[in-house]
Amino acid sequence: MGISYRYMRISRLVLAVAVSMVFGFSAAHTVSAQSPGDESITLSPVNSKYKIDAGDTVEDTLTIVNDGKVAYDFIVYSRPYSVTNEQYEPNFTDTPKNADAYGWVRFPKTKFRIEAGKSMEVPYTVSVPKQAAPGGHYGVIFAETQPPENQGGGNSVVRKKRVGSILYATVNGQYTTSGEVTSTSIPFWQLQPPLHADSTVKNTGNSDFTNDITYTVKDVFGNVKYKEVKQYTVLPQTTRAFSLEWKDASWFGLYNVELEQTVLDKKKAVSGYVLILPRYIPILLIVFVLIGGGYAWFRRKNTHTKKK
């Protein structure tokens, strides 16, 4: 009885420490959200696509919306647009050969003032040089708020906000459009929501194309729990990684995930089961099994000792 009682006390202590460690390490960090300021600027469209001949000019407009509480001045300007990795982090400074469309943009004027709660159209033209190579060319148009003239002096910090609209210009002629889905992944064991699936697409041509993705999550009975349809642009000579997520998945559950992609009229569909199971559940099961096995061993040993 003494050995059994001591073992039970030790087992309870081990279990309590294991549970406290698991829940302690899995606790979520709380992040306080910052409240928005009185100054706000939005822009539409977020991108514009043109198919145009070399030497031609197209006229277009951007809509700037002041959905904040104060009036402000803003300027517009163009910059190069490219990406630096598979996650498509934007690069607005480097100038690869096809990031030259920013130099084709002209504005009648570049500085404006907009009142609170108002919208405004900003005209611009895209003039393609006669010697422009066929295929894709890219740039971005920015709208950026400007501080009042009485700010910025001394040691004060001047805050500016800017929004951008990407230009996708395809110059007509003989160019290559080619690419494929290079990988897909639907991990079976996922520790917590969001439930995710991953894919990469490679563009081997010299013009952009779109990757149409349908991401569907079903329960084990075939009922659709979530469906998302998205379209992503893939730039020439790049590989783009995609991560599709369902943030409202249960912390424990079994789902069937379907991922269908269309690249240049070629469809690729994959599916697989996903088990969402926190890591601490297997740990607790192992702890319980060890405690139960140890307790059974001590009971048998204690019973054998008494018989002697």
- Report pLDDT digits (tens) over 52-79: 999 999 999 999 999 999 999 999 999 9
> What is the C-alpha separation between 203 and 65, in angstroms, rounded?
35
Least confident of 13-17, 122-126, 292-296: 13-17
How high is the pLDDT of residue 301?
67
The total number of structural domains that make up the chain: 3
Whether residues 212 and 163 fall in one domain:
no
CB 228 within 8 A of CB 244: yes
The stretches of 1-151 forming alpha helices (DSSP H) are: 2-25
Same domain, 161 and 235: no
Is residue 64 located within the same domain as residue 134? yes
Closest residue by Cα to residue 158 from 146, 167, 173: 146
Q: Assess whether pLDDT exceeds 70 at residue 216.
A: yes
More confident residue, 306 or 174: 174
pLDDT (mean) for 282-288: 72
- pTM of the predicted model, to two decimals? 0.77
Over 90: is that where the pLDDT of 153 sits? no
| 212 and 257 co-located in one domain | yes
From the list 135, 129, 128, the residue with the least C-alpha distance to 173 is 135
Q: What 8-state DSSP symbol labels residue 72? A: E
Cα separation, 169 vs 89, in Å, equals 20
Does the pLDDT of residue 225 top 90, yes or no?
A: yes
Share of the chain above pLDDT 70, in %: 80
Name which of 139, 138, 146, 150 is nearest 162 in CA terms.
146
Domain containing 113: what range?
42-171
Both 47 and 152 in one domain: the answer is yes
Statement: residue 34 has pLDDT above 70: no
Q: Give the number of other CB atoms < 10 A from CB of residue 259.
A: 23
Domain boundary at 141, 171, 201, which?
Answer: 171
Domain end residue (candidates: 171, 187, 214): 171
Q: Where are the beta strands (DSSP E) in 220-302?
A: 224-234, 238-246, 253-263, 266-276
Question: How high is the pLDDT of residue 150?
Answer: 65
Residue 10 pLDDT > 70, yes or no? no
- Rounded Cα distance between 53 and 166, Å, is 19
Phi/psi region, residue 206 (left: phi>0; alpha: psi -120 to 50; beta: rest), is alpha
Predicted confidence (pLDDT) at residue 137 exceeds the cutoff of 90: yes
Judge contact between 166 and 82, C-beta under 8 A.
no
Residue 308 pLDDT: 58
Residue 33 has what pLDDT?
Answer: 32
Check pLDDT > 90 for residue 37. no
In a domain, 188, yes or no: yes
Size (the chain), residues: 308
The CATH number assigned to the domain holding 239 equals 2.60.40.10
pLDDT tens, position by position, 172-197: 999 999 999 999 999 999 999 999 99
152, 171, 190: which is the final residue of a domain? Answer: 171
Dump the DSSP string for 10-34.
HHHHHHHHHHHHHHHHTPPPP-PPP
